[in-house]
């Protein structure tokens, strides 16, 4: 049984503890640029940046947005903002102009850090288009017609740009802040202050700003690390985006709470992942299933050494059992864990343990973390469902968000009167409290009155030779209401026809579950955090399967 005590500290105090215990331990490593910082150096840099933000006038409670890939100062900014009581507002790196405009307006952000850009998006030009005043006004004193709350645009790097302070300039300004003022600001903070805001992926409706506190994040990060048996000797390879909970909580806070090393990648690249693991002798690796598949299927996979690996996390979307088993067998990750949660829960509610039986660690998302209650309830009555019965997954505890920013109506819909956060996900819990996710309420396919759960068909199709990845969605049908559609990625060099898939299914799964529509694709539409956007696959189905698809379900 895990001893559970809630920790009443801030993120800044969490970092202080790591420095006190292991000042010389490596905190951050970037293999591609030979950058390394000890915990003492990392903490000092966070202090310098925090003082610089104070010098610029950033107040307690102000939002500091960060629109950037995993560049070296990202994690420094996470702790610098926390130490002065500012709220780090993470921005999806895939956002375009209209999405950024919505976020800055909705969040009433006073500050934003950016980089040059990412992929085909020029972040600098987007900011200049949205706030042309930047080019002509005094830095740090912006008056924007479009964004009346916005005061400062800052650059998360060395370069100078019109209307923006760079990192060296901000750190230089920090020398004007008296140490007494800085300490007083830290002493004024409460563990129950909001320290982080993340906008939900927006796979349905408009994104909402999830408000998370030090208390939420410190405790969740600690137990995520405990479930992997982290110590100061662990080195964790983090190719997942920091703007998402997977990076900044499961990764950063699980590491800092155990003084482990964060081996960071600016963006996901399978060769850089393999290089980082071998060079730093990483003991853990994080990723969504598509990342692990990209590494396993890479032509250079056998050229690298994975003997140092032990544990890690595969999460973000349903983890195919064959992929989990292959990771354990050929990547030496015999203690890999799966976890499940949502941003509104800081995010993890369940996680497997390193010593769980292999069936639990491949076919479930684990049991609840200490301090969190998890139930499966009947979606109609909200009453607990018996073990083995499917229902909606709900949870309650220290980890539940403070609410959605400026949106009490949506908050009340998400968290019921008894404090249960409703996930919208369907699951089944066994007699031992282990949870399996079977789909989302809205992902369920209803064909002629028969309920069909995509996850079941996906798991079966993963067993078909030549299939690398598969996603199943409902396709609208005049006759049946919905038919089963499958989007399949084939392994390199494999050729297959839709009839081959249907023949493989016959006699193996019920006839009404056999995909009526099959498309072979090269990839899936995803959020920047690696979640597959099934609603976009359903839209694609309308065009691909025009004979059967009448409308988007």
State residue 318's pLDDT score. Answer: 78
pLDDT value at 291 more than 50 = yes
Average pLDDT (410-430) is 95
Alpha helices in 354-404 (DSSP H): 358-363
- Non-local CB neighbours of 192 within 8 Å, separated by 6+ positions: 213, 214, 215
pLDDT value at 340 more than 90 = yes
State residue 528's pLDDT score. Answer: 80
Cβ proximity of 501 and 464 under 8 Å: yes
User: Which tens digit of pLDDT belongs to each residue from 448-489?
Assistant: 777 788 888 998 999 999 999 999 999 988 778 889 999 999
pLDDT value at 204 more than 50 = no
CA distance 498 to 484: 13
Looking at the chain, the whole-number percentage of residues with pLDDT higher than 70 is 97
State residue 319's pLDDT score. Answer: 82
State residue 201's pLDDT score. Answer: 58
Average pLDDT (173-189) is 98
Average pLDDT (14-42) is 98
State residue 545's pLDDT score. Answer: 87
pLDDT value at 154 more than 70 = yes
User: Which domains are assigned to the chain?
Assistant: 38-199 (3.40.50.12780), 445-544 (3.30.300.30)
CA distance 390 to 444: 12
Query: 83 vs 538, which has greater pLDDT?
Result: 83
Q: What's the sign of the alpha-carbon dihedral 42, 43, 47, 50?
A: positive
User: Which tens digit of pLDDT belongs to each residue from 299-318?
Assistant: 999 999 999 999 999 998 77
Query: pTM of the entire structure?
Result: 0.89
State residue 448's pLDDT score. Answer: 78
Cβ proximity of 383 and 366 under 8 Å: no
State residue 466's pLDDT score. Answer: 96
Q: What is the DSSP letter of 465?
A: T
Average pLDDT (407-423) is 95
Query: 185 vs 363, which has greater pLDDT?
Result: 185
pLDDT value at 548 more than 60 = no
Looking at the chain, the whole-number percentage of residues with pLDDT higher than 90 is 83
State residue 205's pLDDT score. Answer: 57
pLDDT value at 50 more than 80 = yes
Least confident of 184-188, 417-421, 425-429, 443-447: 443-447
State residue 552's pLDDT score. Answer: 30
pLDDT value at 226 more than 80 = yes
Nearest by Cα to 349 from 414, 423, 289, 418: 423
Average pLDDT (225-245) is 97
Average pLDDT (16-28) is 98
C-alpha pair distances (Å), 95 with each of 6, 112, 174: 36, 14, 31
CA distance 262 to 390: 38
State residue 551's pLDDT score. Answer: 32
pLDDT value at 18 more than 70 = yes
Cβ proximity of 384 and 375 under 8 Å: yes
**Mean pLDDT score of the chain, rounded to an integer?**
93
Average pLDDT (105-130) is 96
pLDDT value at 368 more than 90 = yes
In this prediction, residue 550 has a pLDDT band, given cuts at 50, 70 and 90, of very low
């Amino acid at each position: 049984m895990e001893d559970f005590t809630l920790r009443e500290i801030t993120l800044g105090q969490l970092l202080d503890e790591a420095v006190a215990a292991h000042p010389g331990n490596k905190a951050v490593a970037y293999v591609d640029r030979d950058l390394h910082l000890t915990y003492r150096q990392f903490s000092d840099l966070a202090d310098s940046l925090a003082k610089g933000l104070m010098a610029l006038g950033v107040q307690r409670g102000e939002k500091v947005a960060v629109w950037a890939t995993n560049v070296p100062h990202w994690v420094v900014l996470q702790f610098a903002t926390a130490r002065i009581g500012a709220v780090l507002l993470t921005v999806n790196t895939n956002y375009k102009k209209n999405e950024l405009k919505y976020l800055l307006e909705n969040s009433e952000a006073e500050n934003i850090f950016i980089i040059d850009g990412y992929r085909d998006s020029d972040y600098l030009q987007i900011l200049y288009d949205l706030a042309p005043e930047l080019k002509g006004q005094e830095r740090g004193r912006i008056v924007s017609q479009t964004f009346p709350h916005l005061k400062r645009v800052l650059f998360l790097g060395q370069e100078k740009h019109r209307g923006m302070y760079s990192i060296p300039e901000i750190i230089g300004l920090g020398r004007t802040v008296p140490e007494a003022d800085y300490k007083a600001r830290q002493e004024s903070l409460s563990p129950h202050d909001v320290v982080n805001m993340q906008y939900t992926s927006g796979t349905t409706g408009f994104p909402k700003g999830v408000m998370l506190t030090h208390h939420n994040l410190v405790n969740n990060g600690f137990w995520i690390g405990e479930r992997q048996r982290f110590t100061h000797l662990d080195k964790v390879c983090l190719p997942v985006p920091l703007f998402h909970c997977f990076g900044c909580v499961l990764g950063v806070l699980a590491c800092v709470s155990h003084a482990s090393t964060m081996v960071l990648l600016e963006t996901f690249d399978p060769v850089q992942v393999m290089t980082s693991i071998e060079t730093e002798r990483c003991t853990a690796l994080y990723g969504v299933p598509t990342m692990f598949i990209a590494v396993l299927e890479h032509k250079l996979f056998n050229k690298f050494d994975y003997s140092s690996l032990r544990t890690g996390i595969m999460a973000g979307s349903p983890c195919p059992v064959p992929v989990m088993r292959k990771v354990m067998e050929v990547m030496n990750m015999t203690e890999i864990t799966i976890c499940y949660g949502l941003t509104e829960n800081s995010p993890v509610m369940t996680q497997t343990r390193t010593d769980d039986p292999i069936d639990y660690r491949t076919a479930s998302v684990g049991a609840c973390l200490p301090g969190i209650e998890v139930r499966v309830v009947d979606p109609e009555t909200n009453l607990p469902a018996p073990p083995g019965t499917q229902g909606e997954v709900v949870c309650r505890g220290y980890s539940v968000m403070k609410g959605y920013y400026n949106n009490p109506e949506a908050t009340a819909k998400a968290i019921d009167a008894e404090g249960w956060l409703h996930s919208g996900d369907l699951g089944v819990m066994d007699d031992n409290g282990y949870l399996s996710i079977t789909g989302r309420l809205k992902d369920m396919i209803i064909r002629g009155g028969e309920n069909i759960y995509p996850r079941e068909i996906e798991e079966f199709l993963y067993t078909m030779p030549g299939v690398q990845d598969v996603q199943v969605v409902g396709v609208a049908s005049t006759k049946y209401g919905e038919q089963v559609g499958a989007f399949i990625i084939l392994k390199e060099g494999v050729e297959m026809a839709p009839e081959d898939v249907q023949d493989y299914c016959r006699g193996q799964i019920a006839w009404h579950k056999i995909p009526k529509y099959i498309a072979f694709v090269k990839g899936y539409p995803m959020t920047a955090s690696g979640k597959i956007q099934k609603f976009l696959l359903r839209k694609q189905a309308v065009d691909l399967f025009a004979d059967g698809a009448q409308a988007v379900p």
